[in-house]
Every structure is written in structure tokens, then in C-alpha cells.
């Protein structure tokens, strides 16, 4: 066990360096053109998520554009984008990359919305489908709550209750 731990510790700086040089995702010209459109209402939330994940040209990162697409996708009910926004607002280094200061209220709000979205999707899955629960999002939300003051938690809960998706949440499993 100690041998494996030593290998992991020795390799972790190399892994971090490799990760830092990896582009968000590469895009084809067709995808870039699609994401450059001014009508996100014509796109699915999943397509918006792909624009967020793939925002980059020749390996460069455009975090401002990615944040815009994550926010759009989250507001259109895309679960992965909601979780990612929670991560961006909670994690100092992610937030710094995206130009967003840490904000535990926003992190809690997005994790809470993600837990609710996941719960809705579980209920819509046909019998016999893998009906994983939304415990992951609940754990993220509760982890943030431990760092918050009670008034911050109340504010975040209120924001989550007031949030409404811009479109009916799609629980597509064909991704």
C-alpha cells in the first residue's frame, strides 16, 4: 500500500501539469459555428453544455464564454451544468479561472437545484432503468453548508426555491 501511495505522490505534480495543459475540449468548425449562434433558445440544454465544455480554439481556453454557456445550460435545466456551476462558485481555483469570486451562497444554490433536477429525472426514468439517486448532489450541497453561516444557508435555499428553469427539464438518457 505504501508503495502505491509513494508512486501516486511522486506522479501527482506530473499529472497536474498534464491536466493544466489539456484544452477544455476540441471543437470542429461546425460546433464552433453552432455555438457562435445568438439564439440559445433554439438549442437543447445538452447542446449548450457541449458549447461550454468545448469552448476553445486551437487549445486556447475562453473561460468567459464557457461560463456563459454553463449558466445558460444550467438555467435551461442541464444537470451537469448545474453541478459545474456549483463547483465554479465553491472552488477558489475554478472560480479564478472563470473570473468568478468564491460564493458559497451561489455554490449551495446550484448544488440544491442540481439535487432537485436529478430527483425529477429519477422519477421520469422507466422502470428497470438504472435509477441512481441524487445523493452526490446532496453531499456536495451539505459540504458547502458546513462552511456557511445560517443566514447564508437560508439565502441560498430561498434562491434555489425561486429558481425556475427556462424550459421544461429534459431528462434524456441518450447521451
Q: Is 58 left (phi over 0), alpha (psi -120 to 50) or beta?
A: left
Q: How many helices (H) does the chain have, and how many strands (E)?
A: 9, 2
- Can you name the residues that pair with 56 across neighbouring β-strands? 61
pTM for the full model? 0.71
Q: How do the pLDDT tens digits run along the chain, 175 residues long? A: 344 333 333 333 333 333 333 334 444 444 455 576 656 767 777 787 778 777 644 355 788 888 888 898 899 888 888 999 999 999 988 888 888 999 999 999 999 999 988 887 777 766 666 666 778 889 999 999 999 999 999 999 999 999 998 877 766 543 3
Amino acid at each position: 500500500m505504501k508503495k502505491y501511495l509513494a508512486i501516486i505522490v511522486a506522479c501527482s505534480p506530473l499529472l497536474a501539469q498534464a491536466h493544466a495543459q489539456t484544452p477544455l475540449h476540441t471543437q470542429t468548425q461546425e460546433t464552433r459555428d453552432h455555438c457562435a449562434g445568438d439564439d440559445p433558445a433554439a438549442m437543447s440544454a445538452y447542446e449548450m453544455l457541449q458549447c461550454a465544455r468545448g469552448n476553445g480554439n486551437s487549445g486556447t481556453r475562453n473561460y468567459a464564454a464557457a461560463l456563459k454557456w454553463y449558466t445558460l445550460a444550467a438555467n435551461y435545466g442541464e444537470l451537469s451544468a448545474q453541478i459545474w456551476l456549483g463547483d465554479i462558485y465553491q472552488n477558489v481555483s475554478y472560480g479564478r479561472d472563470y473570473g468568478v469570486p468564491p460564493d458559497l451562497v451561489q455554490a449551495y444554490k446550484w448544488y440544491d437545484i442540481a439535487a432537485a433536477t436529478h430527483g425529477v429525472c429519477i422519477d421520469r426514468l422507466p422502470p428497470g432503468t438504472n435509477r441512481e439517486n441524487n445523493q452526490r448532489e446532496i453531499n456536495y450541497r451539505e459540504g458547502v453548508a458546513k462552511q456557511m453561516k445560517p443566514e447564508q444557508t437560508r439565502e441560498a435555499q430561498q434562491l434555489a426555491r425561486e429558481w425556475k428553469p427556462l424550459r421544461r427539464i429534459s431528462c434524456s438518457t441518450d447521451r
